[in-house]
Amino acid sequence: MSDCIFCKIIKGEIPSTKVYSDEHATAFRDIQPAAPTHILIVPNRHIDSINAMTADDEQTVGYLFSVAKKIAAQEGIAEGGYRLIINTNADAGQTVFHIHLHLLGGRRMGVMA
């Protein structure tokens, strides 16, 4: 998708602080972190949201969680714990319509209501 900011980050057209990249996923630090470690993990193939997923996307989206596990270990937050979040559509707080998994850690997280 030509106007998607995350697609542009994946292609290297917009600078980011990448922490992981392979043929299926890219991960980079959030520019407005909500925790000491706040990394966005995105599929390299554009998928608007969880609601836009097809059966063909299941393996790709599941792979994001495997990447999150690797990055949590790499960042030194795996043992202490971390939070994974996917927001779907505007009422949930999705502002970039390219599926992305938030990896948050580096401090004790509060209970979510």
Indicate which residues carry an active-site annotation. 100
Q: Fill in the amino acid letter for 32.
A: Q
User: What gap in Å lies between CA 27 and CA 96, rounded to an integer?
Assistant: 15
Contact 12, 74 (CB under 8 A): no
- Beta carbons within 8 Å of 110's beta carbon, 6+ residues apart: none
Q: H helices within 2-112, ranges in order?
A: 5-10, 58-74
